[in-house]
Structure 1
Amino acid sequence: MAKIAVIVGSVYGAAQYVAEEALPLLSTQGHEVTLFEEAKLDTVLAFNADSWLIITSTTGQGDIPDNLLPFYLDVQNRFPLLTGKQFAVIALGDSSYDMFCGAGEALRALLLEIQGTELAPMLRIDAGETLEPETIALPWLQQQFC
């Protein structure tokens, strides 16, 4: 099937947990999946994935988590075109904040800017509505990737 790079940005562990739950789901569907917890652009590019799956929480006032920020800045500063590279974003946030899912929005916008192809509309998961984001993310992944 497909080679999928799962790139995660997490502060308190929720996005990390969703990513860890996504791996067996995608693998059992025949995909080759690698998790990038401290993603480096060169390493992700070397994996030569068919698709990138970004799973990120949002911190502060719409900020990208510290473990994902260097990847974001490297993509932004080096601007490697991803012409046609498929990607999907799962964004975790809290709608009581002004910048709901701000990290996911920023990553999605950047990937579109460098000519990536959005595989599916970004999934926004509200911590104010669920304490178990995987219950929303896994069915969505099943629909998009399986």
Structure 2
Amino acid sequence: MALPTIELLVATTSGNTEYLADQLSDQLQQLGYPTRVHYEPDYSELIEGITDDTVWIGCIASHGAGDYADSMLDFAEHLHAKQPALAPLGYAVIAIGDSCYDTYCQAGRDFDQTLSKLGAKQLFERLEIDMSQDDPEEKASTWLGSFIQRL
């Protein structure tokens, strides 16, 4: 059986989430998984590319009042407007935020809920990273090890 293709969708403002996605991609590639990192996810490309072997990992930082970062805004708006059926898709979400704010990890939570509502299958529980307390790379790497065991 072929390994699934892992598409890492990045929502970032400061670049921290981009760096994290790059590290995850490197770890996955070392294990033989084909990966692509989407720094500005393209709706048509990603939706048309879904197969039974496609897995999305959303690396989603909250911005402002819990909103999506600009790099993900168009993609998220298309998902909400077009409501595509995502039944063959498997996914997981890494939500990044700062617990000092009421909207901690809200964009990642919203992304998780949207994918589930559209029929995608959550493959592993959402990871929430608190940038004010956690070591993001260490926490994500530990999570990734457990996630891979579920694939």
TM-score normalized by structure 1? 0.94
Deviation digits for residues 55-113 of structure 1 (CA, Å, limit 9, x no counterpart)? 01111111110110110111111111111411000011011110110110110111011
Following superposition, the deviation at residue 47 of structure 1 comes to 3.3
TM-score normalized by structure 2? 0.91
Moved over 6 A (4+): none
Counterparts of 1:36-75 in structure 2, within 5 Å, are 36-48=38-50, 50-75=54-79
Following superposition, the deviation at residue 29 of structure 1 comes to 1.3
Structure 1 gap segments, 5+ residues each: none
Over the matched positions of the two proteins, sequence identity in percent amounts to 27
| 1:119 counterpart residue number | 123
Structure 2 counterpart of 1:81, one-letter code: A
Q: For 1:51 and 1:44, locate their aligned partners in 2 and report how far apart those are by CA, in whole Å.
A: 11
> Is the deviation greater in 132-141 or in 117-126?
132-141
Deviation digits for residues 6-56 of structure 1 (CA, Å, limit 9, x no counterpart)? 100001111111100011111111111011111111111233351100001
Structure 1 counterpart of 2:103, one-letter code: M
Counterparts of 1:1-146 in structure 2, within 5 Å, are 1-48=3-50, 50-130=54-134, 132-145=135-148
Structure 2 counterpart of 1:135, one-letter code: E
User: What secondary structure sits across from 1:58 in the alignment?
Assistant: strand
Aligned residues: 145
> In angstroms, what is the RMSD of aligned CA positions?
1.2
